[in-house]
Amino acid sequence: MTSDLAVCLVSGGLDSCVSAVIAGQNYRLALLHCNYGQRTEERELRSFNDLADYFSVPRELRLTVDLDHFRKIGGSSLTDPSREIPAGESGPGEVPSTYVPFRNANLLSLAVSWAEVIGADRVFIGAMEEDSSGYPDCREEFIEAFNRAVELGTGPGSGIRVEAPLIHLSKGEAIRRGMEAGAPLQLTWSCYVSSGPKPCGVCGSCRLRARGFAAAGVPDPILGEERQ
């Protein structure tokens, strides 16, 4: 049987916001957020809650999970305060220090588990291949392989499938798609370093976001609000 319910991984960032808006065009939304010891954990959680309120998602379809093991494992400047987050974006083929090892597999596993419990047959993630030169778990090949694992590892007839609607879009294209669909981009937060009131503007995530808004030809509403 098909379901009208989809689990959306929502970090509080721009990509997951647009992905959730796209999912909401065909499904009722169940929103999943993970705290994993990242530097801006509190700020991202605030954005998640703001987005869940905006989408009028009922409390029983909001789930926040704490994943302390990422901080204990280490290996990423996002979760290890002793490591510096570099300014700017990484070079081609370089895995940046902000990569959290196999994070998306962990997040998707949780999302699929919850989907199986609540009867959802879709899981949405805002992964984009534009980031795949640095983040191997943002590639289409990874999503396809994960879907094969879901098919083999869930109960008979679950029908659960992961969708990444932004996978082939550039950041500018994702922003335009989100604006056309009415995505509340003003509620999102992308900075790896600052928890506000202003993003740092120099980390890789801030640079990628700025490049996207420039390509879309529109101002970033976060910056506009903060400069008023």
Write down the domain spans for the chain.
5-226
Mind listing the pLDDT tens digit for each residue in 134-170?
799 999 999 999 999 999 999 999 999 999 999 999 9
- Tell me the whole-structure pTM to 2 decimals: 0.95
Reported confidence tier of residue 186, pLDDT bands at 50, 70, 90: very high
Structure tokens, 156: 């008979």
Please give the angle made by the CA atoms of 201, 185 and 134, to the nearest 5 degrees: 55
Superfamily the domain 5-226 falls into: HUPs (3.40.50.620)
Least confident of 115-124, 126-135, 191-200: 126-135
Task: Spell out where the chain has E strands.
Answer: 5-9, 28-35, 62-66, 122-124, 161-163
Q: Concatenated DSSP letters for 61-100? A: GEEEEE-THHHHH---TTT-TTSPPPBSPPPTT---TT--
Structure tokens, 36: 């994993």
* Residue 58 CA from chain centroid, whole number: 20
* Residue 68 CA from chain centroid, whole number: 18
d(CA 198, CA 214): 18
Q: Which residues pair with 63 in a beta bridge?
A: 32
114 has a pLDDT exceeding 80: yes
